[in-house]
Structure 1
Amino acid sequence: MGFAIVLFVIAAIFVAKSIKIVPQQHAWIKERLGKYAGTLSPGLKFIIPFVDRIAYKHSLKEIPLDVPSQVCITRDNTQLQVDGILYFQVTDPMRASYGSSNYITAVTQLAQTSLRSVIGKLELDKTFEERDMINAQVVSAIDEAALNWGVKVLRYEIKDLTPPAEILRAMQAQITAEREKRALIAASEGRRQEQINIATGEREAFIARSEGEKQAAINQAQGEAAAITAVADATAQAIERVAQAIQHPGGEQAVQLKVAERAVDAYGKLASDATTTLVVPSNMTEVSALITSAMKMIQTGQRGQ
């Protein structure tokens, strides 16, 4: 009875050691008598107790690894305190077990050396502008070497770039000076545009005034020309009618009468003016001779027509 119990206990231990349950997204490395004997995938697995053993257990999930902060020197000999975070994943459990004694330490050290090499090729200002390029080059450098360790580097992100306090103060002063420069330029541009606008407005106003004055002068000249033409036309029509009237019977007598009336009116006006000295002809036949002379001039003008 006691032997049976001992045998049952041994069998139970044997069965317990032979059954292994591998979790999802994990891979276990099996060794048989110290030699690699296979990789156990997730699920229920069996091994030979006391002959096989689980040597390594790996997680196949994406692993974030904090890379310790370090001092890097830029191309222009400026020190930078840089820290970052690395994301990697075990893709080959066998290589991760036997390719490196500690792939996490190896990846960490390689990330630091690669980061120092990349930053050493850049000037200080470029390190702040080219973060994506730095991250990509670090990933490329690590991923090539990490293939022998069964690890795939997914990405690297710089968390912080901290220059010395003196550099920070100089950068702040530079930023302040740049902003003041931009403000002065903007103010000068505003004044310049204001002067341009004022000059443009004055020029347009002057042009408008000159155009108005020009049009007014043209209108006035046209009005005066029209008035002169109208007066000339009226005078011509009056003379033409007088000439036509003279040609009718009794026309010459009417003209003589009109000239005589005008002469009498003229003498009357001269006589009414107290400041005028009037010399009256001694013989009134002189007045008749004056009228006769005027009529001869009118007749001569008519024959000339």
Structure 2
Amino acid sequence: MNMPPEIQRAMKMQVEAERKKRAMILESEGHRQAEMNKAEGEKQSRILRSEAAMQEEVNKASAAAKAAESEKLSRILESEAEMQTRINMAKAAATSAESEKIQRILASEAEKQAAINRAEGQALAIQMEMEARCKALDNLSASLERSGAGAAASFVTADNYVKAFNNLAKTNNTVIIPSNPADVGSMVAQAMTIYNQVSNNQVVKK
């Protein structure tokens, strides 16, 4: 069965119109989806830019905080180093003062010990000299007690007297001399008189 041409044309036109309608709908939906995608893309881009800017500010703030903390730590370390330096200087000064004090004490003790040693040495020398003199006097006394020793002692005393006077005469010292220096016999007689007096006194004491 064949349809009339008018109906066939009408059906074709209806089909064509339906196709165009669907095409227009699809195109419209495509444009709308594209706009939506574009808007979503711009939205996401703005969000990302905002988040990036916010992160950048956070990073700047964090960097500034770290820099401030680092500067604070540096000042603290510098202050501690300066304080330690002052402590070390004070310790060094105290050590130097203590060392100087110890040196003065040691020097004083050394000087004191040296003075003690000198005094002991002088005392020992005086003691030895006195002991030597005592021994010499004891020997002399023992010799004088022997027979014939008196004449020898008298001669030695007179000889020493004359020699001592001659030595004094050769110097510039001011001395007391006998009234007649040329009279050697008078000087010997005086010396013998002194010796005899000493000898007699010793005999009387015994």
Interval of TM-score (by shorter of Structure 1 and Structure 2): 0.5 to 0.7
1:300 equivalent in structure 2: 201
1:174 equivalent in structure 2: 72
Whether the 8 Å CA contact 1:245–1:251 is kept in 2: the answer is yes
Q: Which is worse superposed, 170-179 or 236-245?
A: 170-179
Which residue identity does 1:291 align to in structure 2? M
Percent sequence identity over aligned pairs = 22
Which structure 2 residues correspond to residues 192-271 of structure 1 after superposition, within 5 A?
Answer: 192-270=90-168
Q: Give the alignment's TM-score, normalised by structure 1.
A: 0.40
Deviations, residues 159-179 of structure 1 (Å, cap 9, x unaligned): xxx9x5576555444333322
Which structure 2 residues correspond to residues 58-77 of structure 1 after superposition, within 5 A?
Answer: none
Structure 1 unpaired stretches of 5+: 1-161
Cα distance between partner residues in 2 of 1:266 and 1:209: 48
Which residue identity does 1:206 align to in structure 2? R
Cα distance between partner residues in 2 of 1:286 and 1:208: 60
* 1:214 shift after superposition: 2.3
Cα distance between partner residues in 2 of 1:270 and 1:244: 31
2:44 equivalent in structure 1: none
Whether the 8 Å CA contact 2:143–2:149 is kept in 1: the answer is yes
Whether the 8 Å CA contact 2:157–2:192 is kept in 1: the answer is yes
* 1:244 shift after superposition: 1.3
Which residue identity does 1:239 align to in structure 2? L
Which structure 2 residues correspond to residues 12-161 of structure 1 after superposition, within 5 A?
Answer: none
Q: Give the alignment's TM-score, normalised by structure 2.
A: 0.56
* Alpha-carbon spacing, 1:297–1:246, altered in 2? closer, same or farther (3 Å): same
* Alpha-carbon spacing, 1:174–1:247, altered in 2? closer, same or farther (3 Å): same
Cα distance between partner residues in 2 of 1:194 and 1:232: 56
**Partner SS, residue 82 of structure 2:** helix
Whether the 8 Å CA contact 1:243–1:302 is kept in 2: the answer is no
* Alpha-carbon spacing, 1:275–1:207, altered in 2? closer, same or farther (3 Å): closer
* 1:281 shift after superposition: 5.8
Whether the 8 Å CA contact 1:260–1:291 is kept in 2: the answer is yes
Cα distance between partner residues in 1 of 2:168 and 2:113: 47
RMSD of equivalent CA atoms: 3.3
| More strand per residue | 1
Which residue identity does 1:295 align to in structure 2? N
Deviations, residues 172-206 of structure 1 (Å, cap 9, x unaligned): 44333322221211111121121122122222222
Cα distance between partner residues in 1 of 2:67 and 2:76: 14
**Partner SS, residue 249 of structure 1:** coil
2:86 equivalent in structure 1: 188
Whether the 8 Å CA contact 2:144–2:153 is kept in 1: the answer is yes
| More helix per residue | 2
Which residue identity does 1:280 align to in structure 2? P
**Partner SS, residue 181 of structure 2:** coil
Cα distance between partner residues in 2 of 1:252 and 1:231: 26
Cα distance between partner residues in 1 of 2:165 and 2:194: 18
* 1:243 shift after superposition: 1.0
